[in-house]
Each structure stands twice: as C-alpha cells, then as structure tokens.
A and B are shown apart, each in its own frame.
Chain A
Amino acid sequence: MAQNIDLYDAILNGNAKMAHAATEAALAAGADPMGLIQESMVPAMDEVGRLFECEEYFVPELLLAGRAMKSAMELLKPLLSAAGQRMAVRIVIGTVKGDLHDIGKNIVASMLEGSGFEVIDLGTDVSPENFVAAVEERKPQVVCLSALLTVTMPAMKLTIDALKTAGLRTQVKVLVGGAPVNSQYAKEIGADGYSENASGAVGLVKNLVAEA
C-alpha cells in the first residue's frame, strides 16, 4: 500500500481536520486501515519526532501532530476492533500519590499517544492501590510514574512495591520521570527505566516494547 500523502502531510502539519478528511477519503476509496497507520501515520509521526529532536519543532507542533493522528485514529479504531486488531501497546500513566503536578506527565502522555500508543491517564495524586487496580483491569504493558516533589518520590517506590505485592510487577515495565528523579533513583526503587524528558520517554517506551 502506497503512502497517503494527504494524510501524511496533515499529520506533519498538525491539521486534525485535514487528517480526519484524508482518512475518510482513503477509507471510502477502499484503503486498508492498518495500512494507513503503518504506511502514512507512523512515518508522519516519526518525521515529527525527528523535527522535534533537531529543534525544528517545539512541543505544540508535536502535540498538534498527535492530535491530528488521534483524529484519524478515531475513524480507524472501530475498523481495527471489528477486524480483531488493536493498538500494539497500552500504557497507564499518572502522577504519584501526594503530588498534584501534571504538566510534565500530560506532555509525556500526549506524546505517547501521538506516537501511536494507547494511553490511560489516571491523573494526579494517584495512590499505589489505584495504579494496581488500573494494571489489573486494563492490562497495560507499561506503567509511567511521574513526580515533581522530593517528598513524593517515595510514593514511586511504594507503587512499584504494591505492584510486586499484587503479583503484577513482572507483567509491566515501569518507567519513572520528573524533576527530582534520576536514573540512579530509578534503579534503586526497581524501575525499568527513567527519562529526563518527554521525548526520551517515548524513545524509552519504544525500546522497552521492542525488547519485550
């Protein structure tokens, strides 16, 4: 299946309406939903990621591209479900208990979503029990924990410990991030990975999923 240039450009330029229209037109012309994703949407997001890495794009362009991708996916998801297909990776993300900061977590969530992952955002001040419940119910492959305060860093360990106690730890990869966290702390608390920024988090998820 050839690349759909209209869809590719719409995502690259962050135009959700055009992405939606291009997807509709492609489906009407008989395009394969998974083919549209693999040949047009994922390459467009890869290019968006490249432009961000070389500082041609800022986060707004990145998120607008993600929003355009999402608007196209809204048309494709029902078709994928009907065909027994689903998004490859599901991620649960949240800011840990005691911490109300969420802009960093929101950026990571949006960028992950824009990269084609299914993201379940639990919000802020999420208790270990709620993370455990989300893993049990939604069966994600990855859990992302965010904290901004030094005094809420321990809640990251408590969450990982709760996943262990519930017997769920081996089923998910756990990533941590936030201003006071570093890779050493991630290792100390038994996380699988750490990123100091949102784009790094996306790369980390891709790597971890590829390894799994």
Chain B
Amino acid sequence: MIVETARKFTSLAIPNQDQFLYGACPHPLNCGLGLTLGAGQVFPEVNFTLPPMSITRETWAEVKAHYEEMAAQILRRAVSLAVPGIVLEFELLPAMTDEPEWGAEITAILKRHLSAAHEKHKLLCALRVTPTDIRDQQKPPLLRTGEPWQRLRRSFELCAEAGADILSIESVGSKEVHDQALMFGDFPGIVFALGVLAPRDMTWLWSEIVSICAAHPGVIAGGDSACGFANTAMQLAHQRMLPEVLAAVVRAMSCVRSLAAFEQGALGPSKDCAYEGPVMKAITGMPISMEGKSAACAHFSPLGNIAAAMCDLWSNESVQNVRLLSGNAPEVFTEILAYDCRLMNAATAAGGALALRDWMTASDEWLSPQAAVLSPAATLRIASAIVAEETPYRQTVAAGRVAVDILKEGVVAGKLRLSRKEQQWLERIEASLDELPAEESALIAVLEEQYGGLYDKASYGL
C-alpha cells in the first residue's frame, strides 16, 4: 500500500529572511496547559533520562522514582526562574516502548507533575512524548507489520491516553540502507535511502501517528527527526570518520523525509535533534524545537549558536539524572535553557531579535560545513529548492545540489575553509549528483543488486 500525501507544500510560509526569526512563526501552536509556541517567545524544552541502570521489573520502582525526582526538580527550578512556559520531553527508552504500559506509566507521572505546577504556579507547560522506533529489531526491518510495529503503535496510543500533549518519534525507516551507504560513502545509496525509501516510510508512519492523535482530542502530532541519518553523519564527521561536507549535504537532503511528517498532518514542534528544523519552519510556517550549545551534555555539535537562530523551543537534547554541585543535572540544564531563552526573549522585547539571530548565525556559520547549510539564507535556499520540485526523490536531489552550491560558494568567497581531502569529497559528491538518474525508478533498478537484500520492499510500498 502506498499512502498518498495528505497535503503538499508548494511555496514557502516564510519567504523573507528578515521574517525568519526565533520564537515566531506564521502558524503558532496551542498545546498542553495554556502554552502557545511560535507566538513571539522561545521556551525551554527539557529532556532527561536515567543514569546507567537496568530497566527491568525488579528496578521499575527505582525507574519511576527517578522520573518523579527529575520532574519535581525541573519544575521547581523552572518556577524559581519564572520561565514563561516550558515543555518537558519524555523520550521513551527501548524497554519502555517494548512494554507500552511502562512508557504510559512514566507519561502519567510527568503529566501529574506538570498539571500540579500549572495549577499551583500557573506555569504554562506541555508534555512531549517520544516513543522509540523499535521497528528495526529484525533484519530486514518490517516497518508496517509485525510485533514491534504493533507495540510501537500501542505505545503511542497509551501515552496519548496517559497525558501526552505532543507525540513525536525519531523514525528509522531506510536507516538499514542509509547506514550501509553512509559507511561506504556511496552517494547514490544515500540518495536512495533519503529520497526514495525514507519519505515512503515517513508518509505511512505519520499518517498512522496523525490518526492516533485525531482519536485523542488535544494530542498534537509534533514532528520527526533525521537523527538516525543526518546526526549520525554529523557525529561520524566530528570523529573524522566521514567528510564534513558529506554530512552537511546529508543534512540538507534529510529535510525531505522529515517534511513528510508535516505533509501528513504533523503540526510541530519538530524534534529538538532535527537540525533540519529551520527548513521545515520555512516551508510549513510551523514551530520547531532546536538544540545547540546547551545540549553539549548529550553530544558535540558545530551548531551551538546557529541552531538557536530560528528555534521556537530550545532544548538540551538529553541529560542523565546524575548529581552535580548545584543539583541534579536535569534541573541544572533547565536553568541553562531558561537563561538562554530569557536572553532571546529580552532581545525580542527590545526589538533586537533580528540582530541577535544574525549574531548567533555569524558566530558559527562559516566554521563548519554543517553550520554553513543552516544559516537563515542557506535554509531558505534549500527550502525553496525543495518546494520547487514535485517528488521526494527530486526534492532530495535538489536539496543536495543547493547544499553543494552553498559550500562551494563559501569556499570561493574565502569564508569556508576546507581541507584538500574535504574539497575532493565535495567534488565527488557534485559529480555523483550529476550522474543520478532523473527518475527514482531508474535509481531503484540500479541499486537493487547492491541494497535489495537490506530492506523489505513491502515496508516501503514497493
């Protein structure tokens, strides 16, 4: 079954760079307990996880105690700092999606804390819940059938019933092909995964998630993340395992598969680790969550400031519940995020949002290829290229071409410094883009022998 796209974005919701600001978007989103995203302010989105420990029936009471503690401490610190609003994100761990009732139990705990804070302190707040995409438990993964999908679907349903305000996922459809192609630097394989397979899974999966949300009034279909694709590439590039330019082009091309969630009815905010979020925002006009310097607790990125330039929620990605001098890490990072947001919101109130956005952009833009493709100008160019094309495959190729152009222009202008090896890879990527067939059917045929055994065709409607 091939799921039809529910809506198609053919123009930009934010065509003007000067209107492309943090904290504001054409389609603000009401969610949770009185919170409105994208209506002028940036709010912290705090994400937290367990310290090293097993999740079993024997440890379950201890697991719940951790979440009770984290929620209480985060909200206490948020109230102390008078945040104008806050989102908590609960990213289920695999065991909590495997046992859908467990994820729902934690969801209920967190919602109870948020409701109490809202009632007692009038804190505007919402709970985002993100089940783990567990559909890749077998090789090749069965994405639309089988026990893992049934448990994932049940997890969404139970978490919605238990109090989630926003549902999200970091889906992994086509990662079985993308990982292999990425490791071998096989550019046609990467395009095949990102532009042919991934959009098909995203389209199907998000039609399911949107329908689950529709059955639970008040629950919003948030958005996805290309974490398993573009962030994997970014981290491998950081470790000098992959070229930075390849990771940057992968980022641009990953926008198309993430856009499919919005095409199916997601309303935002997209996931914090979706660094492709600004492209979503430019196209859809819906709010996004981003993470940067204050997510250094979770991972490196060369995007610490520029990631905030167009965000609506500002996140720490993930932090373990471990003790620091001033308190446990989740409440510490709540404070860091609160001050980040306070500065951004103060700049907005003083009419300085555009200036601050440009400073955040300028501080990172040409220090890495990843940042170079995420400036407001670059983002709008990539977004424009995507909406100008008809099919996900063509959109993906177009996004890749624009990313290559942006990087090449940066080098020619003397702004972006690339090693000889990186420049060779950029030329190689450009040549690969030129050699791609015009239609996806030709690419599918060419790559059948190489990748056909890695994926289940029915999972992609093929």
* Chain A residues at the B interface, C-beta cutoff of 8 Å: 55-56, 58-61, 63-64, 67, 98-100, 102-103, 106-107, 110, 123-125, 149-151, 153-155, 158, 179-180, 197-198
User: Is there contact, CB below 8 Å, between A155 and B241?
Assistant: no
| Across-interface contacts of A102 in B (CB, < 8 A) | 179
User: Is there contact, CB below 8 Å, between A107 and B421?
Assistant: no
Pick from B53, B54, B137, B240: contact of A58, CB below 8 A: B240
The 8 A CB mask of B238-253 against A (1 = contact, 0 = none) is: 0111110000000000
Q: Which of B44-52, B71-79, B286-294 contacts A (4 or more CB under 8 A)?
A: B44-52
Which residues of chain B in 122-145 are interfacial with respect to chain A, using CB atoms and an 8 Å cutoff? 132, 134, 136-137, 139
| Across-interface contacts of A123 in B (CB, < 8 A) | 139
Among B49, B51, B185, B186, find the residue whose CB has the most chain A CB atoms closer than 10 A: B185
A106 to B181, CA, bound (A): 12
A58 to B247, CA, bound (A): 12
Which residues of chain B in 47-70 are interfacial with respect to chain A, using CB atoms and an 8 Å cutoff? 49-55
User: Is there contact, CB below 8 Å, between A100 and B136?
Assistant: yes
Beyond the given pairs A58-B241, A100-B136, 14 more chain A to chain B contacts, judged by CB atoms under 8 angstroms and listed by A's residue number, are A55-B421, A56-B421, A59-B183, A59-B242, A67-B184, A98-B94, A100-B132, A103-B179, A106-B183, A150-B52, A150-B53, A151-B49, A179-B299, A197-B241
User: Is there contact, CB below 8 Å, between B183 and A107?
Assistant: yes
The 3 closest A-B pairs by CB, nearest first: A60-B185, A59-B241, A154-B54
User: Is there contact, CB below 8 Å, between B137 and A150?
Assistant: no
User: Is there contact, CB below 8 Å, between B183 and A151?
Assistant: no
B320 interfacial by beta-carbon distance below 8 Å: yes
A-B CB pair tally, cutoff 8 Å:
77
User: Is there contact, CB below 8 Å, between B320 and A150?
Assistant: yes
Pick from A60, A98, A150, A179: contact of B184, CB below 8 A: A60
- Name the residue on A nearest B299 (C-beta): A179
Known: A98-B55, A150-B52. Is A60-B183 also a contact (CB below 8 A)?
yes
| Across-interface contacts of B299 in A (CB, < 8 A) | 179
| Across-interface contacts of B50 in A (CB, < 8 A) | 150-151
- Name the residue on A nearest B232 (C-beta): A103
Size category, B interface: 20 to 34
B95 interfacial by beta-carbon distance below 8 Å: yes
| Across-interface contacts of B332 in A (CB, < 8 A) | none
User: Is there contact, CB below 8 Å, between A110 and B183?
Assistant: yes
| Across-interface contacts of B425 in A (CB, < 8 A) | 58
Give chain B nearest CB distance to A108 CB in angstroms: 11
User: Is there contact, CB below 8 Å, between A154 and B52?
Assistant: yes
Chain B interface helix/strand/loop/mixed: loop
Give chain A nearest CB distance to B70 CB in angstroms: 14
User: Is there contact, CB below 8 Å, between B239 and A197?
Assistant: yes
User: Is there contact, CB below 8 Å, between B93 and A149?
Assistant: yes
User: Is there contact, CB below 8 Å, between B134 and A100?
Assistant: yes
Known: A98-B55, A100-B94, A123-B139. Is A150-B183 also a contact (CB below 8 A)?
no
A107 to B232, CA, bound (A): 12
- Name the residue on A nearest B243 (C-beta): A58
| Across-interface contacts of A60 in B (CB, < 8 A) | 183-186, 242
Give chain A nearest CB distance to B91 CB in angstroms: 11
A113 to B54, CA, bound (A): 32
Pick from A63, A98, A153, A180: contact of B183, CB below 8 A: A63
B236 interfacial by beta-carbon distance below 8 Å: yes
A149 to B91, CA, bound (A): 12
- Name the residue on A nearest B175 (C-beta): A103
User: Is there contact, CB below 8 Å, between A151 and B53?
Assistant: yes
User: Is there contact, CB below 8 Å, between B137 and A155?
Assistant: no
- Name the residue on A nearest B54 (C-beta): A154
User: Is there contact, CB below 8 Å, between B55 and A151?
Assistant: yes
Among A67, A125, A179, A180, find the residue whose CB has the most chain B CB atoms closer than 10 A: A125
User: Is there contact, CB below 8 Å, between B52 and A63?
Assistant: no
Give chain A nearest CB distance to B174 CB in angstroms: 14
The 8 A CB mask of B20-56 against A (1 = contact, 0 = none) is: 0000000000000000000000000000011111110
A100 to B127, CA, bound (A): 25
| Across-interface contacts of B137 in A (CB, < 8 A) | 100, 124-125
| Across-interface contacts of B232 in A (CB, < 8 A) | 103
| Across-interface contacts of B93 in A (CB, < 8 A) | 149, 151
Give chain B nearest CB distance to A19 CB in angstroms: 15
